[in-house]
Structure 1
Amino acid sequence: MKRAFRRYHRILAIAISIPLTVTVLTGMIITIVREWPIATGLSSSFLLSIHTGEIFRLQAIYPILNGLGLIGLLVTGLSMSGLFNSKRQTKRN
């Protein structure tokens, strides 16, 4: 079972890495552009359209796909971690 979860985890990680990286980086850059007096030449509205997926016409589904991908990674990662194993070690004397 762990082998299957590792395979799913690996596939999910590859699939979600690019959209999640774009979301994180644009979110950080938007904060820098808006809050710090640094002339980057980037407009925050353009960055926000990338951040929300509007530039790709995916604004309705982009956050849902990011969220579902992260939930999938959490489920597969936690299942592989062994935190929820039903086997309890018994004390031997």
Structure 2
Amino acid sequence: MANLQIRKLHRKFAPILFLPLLITALTGVFYRVARSWFGLSDELGENVLALHEGKFLGEPLVPFYVLFLGLGLLAMIVTGLMMFKQRKQKAITASGKLNFRLLHSFLAPILFLPLLISATTGIAYRLGETGLGLSEEQIEILMDIHQGNYLGSFLRVIYVLLVGFGLLGILVTGIQMTGLFRKRSVN
């Protein structure tokens, strides 16, 4: 696939995934930080997780929403890596202005593996819970990996913060490059 086609595909998916990924990143970070450090109540925690998983669409659609979002993120990761690998362009900054492309291309390779792990374990957890026949122990292992429990109680929160805010950084810099929020001149 030519670099231009990959770039077009990447740019087409980005606006579609922007809001759902933004909500998922914010609610995931909020849930883990509020639960671990501030004693978030079970009731509020369930409401936050409902947003995180797309339960607002109805319980039967949750696995499809998680699958759509996870596979969408994986597609963005793969196409982004293909663009990064094919040609690393020189970023030109105009008079010290923040260059979104440079920041985006800096963050993406760093966050590739954590986002890949988060997306695949999130998908596997939800699908395993709703119909793949995984045992409770297997499902628990997937969630432990998804939220970094293997790092210990303090570092898992730091991990979730880094991955969540990293994803937010990629989302914001990426959506800026699509041109959706550029000022348009009125003639």
TM-score, length-scaled by structure 2: 0.41
Equivalent-residue separation in structure 2 for 1:18 and 1:4 (angstroms): 24
Unaligned runs of 5+ in 2: 1-92
Equivalent-residue separation in structure 2 for 1:75 and 1:66 (angstroms): 14
Choose which of 72, 75, 87 in structure 1 pairs with 2:169. Answer: 72
Give secondary structure in 1 for the equivalent of 2:156.
coil
Per-residue deviation at 1:89? 4.2
1:61 matched to 2:158? The reply is yes
Larger radius of gyration, structure 1 or 2?
A: 1
Moved more, 54-63 or 30-39: 30-39
Equivalent-residue separation in structure 2 for 1:21 and 1:62 (angstroms): 14
Q: Which amino acid aligns with 1:9?
A: H
Unaligned runs of 5+ in 1: none
Relative contact order (alpha carbons < 8 A, sep ≥ 6): 1 or 2 greater?
1
Q: Identical aligned pairs, as a percentage?
A: 33
Per-residue deviation at 1:39? 5.2
Give secondary structure in 2 for the equivalent of 1:25.
helix
**Structure 1's 37 and 86: CA in aligned 2 closer, same or farther, altered over 3 A?**
closer
Per-residue deviation at 1:48? 1.4
Moved more, 76-85 or 15-24: 76-85
Q: Give the total of aligned pairs.
A: 89
Choose which of 121, 125, 128 in structure 2 pairs with 1:33. Answer: 128
Pairwise CA RMSD = 2.5
